[in-house]
Chains A and B, each alone.
Chain A
Amino acid sequence: MSEHNKRPLKVALHGMDVRSCKTMMMFLQGPCKGAATVVNEDDADVDIFDGDAPVSKNLLSQHLQTERQKPTIVLSLQDFTHDGALQVRKPVRTDDMLSVLSEAKILLAEFARKKAQKQAAPAMATAVAGESEEEEETGFEPQPLKTYVLDQNERKKTSKHQTAMRFDEKGFQAYIGSLPDIDVNDPAQFAQASYDPKDYFQGYIQSAFMVCRAKGQILQLQSGWKPIMIFPHTHEVWLDADDPQLRAFAGIKLNPNSASKMSISPANAQTMGLGGSLDKFQSMDAFLWKLACWTSKGRYPHMIDYTQPVYLKNWPNFTRLLITPHALRIAALLMQGPRTLTNIAQVLNIKPQYVFVFASAAHSLGLMGQVKREADNLVQPPEVKPSKGQGLLSRIMNKLRG
């Protein structure tokens, strides 16, 4: 990491429309490699003005007439000279901007030194206060733009922001694995097609998440395999293992001996140096969701009664979750109202294992629950009628799924 990225300059943008602000923000973040970050005016070290648009010209003119407390950078098509103001010619080039930002840093230190001197002299301080009041009376136009606060590290958490992996029926069975002793799609075996998450790594992870959230503390789960760090405030986990390794571990039924190796303890992310491996961060939800899918192997969690309706609290964040076959359809159907797992399979004409695996994942995140109200059991779920434009919607769907 370069020196300027460790302490990015905080800049405020003036006289730019929202799109220009956004472009500048991305420019500073991307080509300038985070040399500066866009913040609110009050928090800024440096003011950056657009020197060409009529509105921003007025703002700049007013700004330059006041005693400035921080460096000013002007972006303009023509040469711009004003005592103490720095210029970057448009179109703005990365090298030019970085060079001017370096100059601004030096100026900033100079401003800070002068300010300290003024504060040391009481007589001078009175004068400054007077000017400050004058500045307030002048009153700049209220800043109509939104400002942006960037999270420098968030972008580097590539696993967390990766788009979803999606499976259709073909290849899913091989990916998720199968169970030799049961056919989960056989109605006669539905009662046995459940599993207890507590018998697997999934159960320990769910417990650890619960403890972590309750304590509001970063914790480390030791499992005799690889340590997992859990961050309750940012809803993240950190694990130095790839998916195939985790998938293999997820499918193993843990015996009491393995379970005794599980422990959870407070941890400090900074002392463990996780900042250097930000790509190993994952969202807690995405992590638990896939773990539940791999543990399930087409079974449903034993807490769910497959003969009773279940509800879905809200749509899962599918773009960041492992998408099992028919998952979107199942979610859409359940958003219309509660149904039993077997009814879902019947209505959508799909194998029960796809409903069971979805139920396992959704239940692990607390998105799915068993209906408890009497009324929900009394009323038959609404019939799914094909929409008038089903042919058209199907063709759009085919196109999107490519």
Chain B
Amino acid sequence: MSQYKIIFTGPVGAGKTTAIHSISDVPPIKTDASASDMTKSRKTATTVAMDYGVMNLSDGEKIHLYGTPGQERFDFMWDILINGGIGLILLLDNSRADPFKDMKFFMDSFGDFISKTSVAIGVTQMDLSSKPTIADYHTQFQASGLKPPIFAVDARVRNDVSLLVQSLLYSLDPGLAE
């Protein structure tokens, strides 16, 4: 059976674990905290340093939800993670000092993957920091020609995360029936 994945990425604290938890059928496995220790000791087991959840589909198929570790020191894992990925969910924390810098970093890092699949961007913590606005994020993309879905997201709210993933799927195929 094929391994289908949806990849969740973004800086630490953006809500990847929470978002995966919101739509996963199993409690997500969280390994961020122990990962730093494992990295120090250079064990190969650092590959588990990520968040993981599952969506069980009606026909028994599983969609694996992977959250990349936010720390840049784990970026060597990203290529492995995205293999077989359906698309990318990028979560950005609006209360961070420079979320546009974060966005650029992750869009660049996953550029090849995005060009082959698609990306949807969720901006979290907008109730803590209302600026930049969603329109400001769209403006950042004007020069690139990319027009991804960008939504305000509360990672704790299933409907928000679900809509974000749906926008990713419709971006891949608008013909999907509702």
A and B associate: yes
Interface assignment of B46: CB less than 8 Å from any CB of chain A: no
Q: Once the chains are docked, how many angstroms separate the CA of A148 from the CA of B93?
A: 10
Q: What is the 8 Å Cβ interface bit string for chain A, positions 136-149, against chain B (1 contact, 0 not)?
A: 00000000001111
Q: Is the CB of B177 within 8 A of A319?
A: no
Q: Which residue of A328, A386, A392, A394 is within 8 Å of B167 (Cβ)?
A: A328
The interface residues of chain B lying within 8 Å CB-to-CB of A151 are 128-130
Q: Once the chains are docked, how many angstroms separate the CA of A401 from the CA of B170?
A: 13
Interface assignment of A77: CB less than 8 Å from any CB of chain B: no
Interface assignment of A336: CB less than 8 Å from any CB of chain B: yes
The interface residues of chain B lying within 8 Å CB-to-CB of A398 are 57-58
A168 to chain B, nearest CB (A): 7
Q: Is the CB of A392 within 8 A of B162?
A: no
Q: Is the CB of B178 within 8 A of A387?
A: no
Q: Once the chains are docked, how many angstroms separate the CA of A161 from the CA of B124?
A: 11
B104 to chain A, nearest CB (A): 16
Interface assignment of A329: CB less than 8 Å from any CB of chain B: yes
Q: Once the chains are docked, how many angstroms separate the CA of A344 from the CA of B173?
A: 14
Beyond A164-B163, A166-B159, A317-B152, whether A332 also contacts B57 by CB under 8 A is no
Q: Interface segment, B37-45, B74-82, B142-150? A: B142-150
Q: Is the CB of A332 within 8 A of B126?
A: no
The interface residues of chain A lying within 8 Å CB-to-CB of B152 are 161, 317, 319-320
Q: Once the chains are docked, how many angstroms separate the CA of A160 from the CA of B160?
A: 14
Beyond A149-B95, A320-B152, A395-B58, whether A401 also contacts B171 by CB under 8 A is no
Interface assignment of B114: CB less than 8 Å from any CB of chain A: no
- For A145, the closest partner residue in chain B by CB is B97
- For A152, the closest partner residue in chain B by CB is B128
Q: Is the CB of A328 within 8 A of B170?
A: yes
Interface assignment of A215: CB less than 8 Å from any CB of chain B: no
Q: Is the CB of A314 within 8 A of B138?
A: yes
The interface residues of chain A lying within 8 Å CB-to-CB of B157 are 163
Q: Which residue of A317, A319, A333, A396 is within 8 Å of B169 (Cβ)?
A: A396
Count A-B pairs with CB separation below 8 Å: 163
- For B87, the closest partner residue in chain A by CB is A393
Interface assignment of A351: CB less than 8 Å from any CB of chain B: no
Q: Is the CB of A148 within 8 A of B171?
A: no
A388 to chain B, nearest CB (A): 9
Q: Is the CB of A150 within 8 A of B174?
A: no
Q: Is the CB of B163 within 8 A of A328?
A: yes
Q: Once the chains are docked, how many angstroms separate the CA of A399 from the CA of B169?
A: 12
Q: Once the chains are docked, how many angstroms separate the CA of A389 from the CA of B118?
A: 14
Interface assignment of B166: CB less than 8 Å from any CB of chain A: yes
Q: Is the CB of B172 within 8 A of A314?
A: no
Q: Once the chains are docked, how many angstroms separate the CA of A154 from the CA of B130?
A: 7
Q: Is the CB of B57 within 8 A of A146?
A: no
Q: Is the CB of A168 within 8 A of B178?
A: yes
Beyond A329-B176, A332-B167, A400-B166, whether A18 also contacts B12 by CB under 8 A is yes
The interface residues of chain B lying within 8 Å CB-to-CB of A397 are 166, 169, 176-178
Q: Is the CB of B147 within 8 A of A401?
A: no
Q: What is the 8 Å Cβ interface bit string for chain B, positions 40-74, against chain A (1 contact, 0 not)?
A: 00000000000000011111010100000010000
Q: Once the chains are docked, how many angstroms separate the CA of A318 from the CA of B159?
A: 11
Q: Is the CB of A155 within 8 A of B163?
A: no
Q: Is the CB of A161 within 8 A of B55?
A: no
Q: Once the chains are docked, how many angstroms separate the CA of A176 from the CA of B33?
A: 49
Q: Is the CB of A318 within 8 A of B148?
A: no
Q: Is the CB of B12 within 8 A of A163?
A: no
A151 to chain B, nearest CB (A): 6
Q: Is the CB of A19 within 8 A of B13?
A: yes
Q: Is the CB of A394 within 8 A of B130?
A: no
Interface assignment of A257: CB less than 8 Å from any CB of chain B: no
- A residues 274-315 with Cβ under 8 Å of B? 313-315
- For A149, the closest partner residue in chain B by CB is B129
Beyond A18-B12, A22-B13, A392-B4, whether A384 also contacts B162 by CB under 8 A is no
Q: Once the chains are docked, how many angstroms separate the CA of A167 from the CA of B3?
A: 32
- A residues 153-196 with Cβ under 8 Å of B? 154-155, 157, 161, 163-164, 166, 168
Name B's A-contacting residues (CB within 8 A).
4, 11-13, 23, 32-33, 55-59, 61, 63, 70, 86, 95-97, 126-130, 133-134, 138, 141, 147-154, 157, 159-160, 162-167, 169-178
4 closest cross-chain pairs (CB), A and B: A332-B170, A332-B174, A387-B173, A333-B174
Sample 9 A-B pairs with CB under 8 A, ordered by A number.
A22-B12, A314-B141, A319-B152, A319-B153, A319-B159, A328-B178, A332-B171, A394-B177, A396-B86
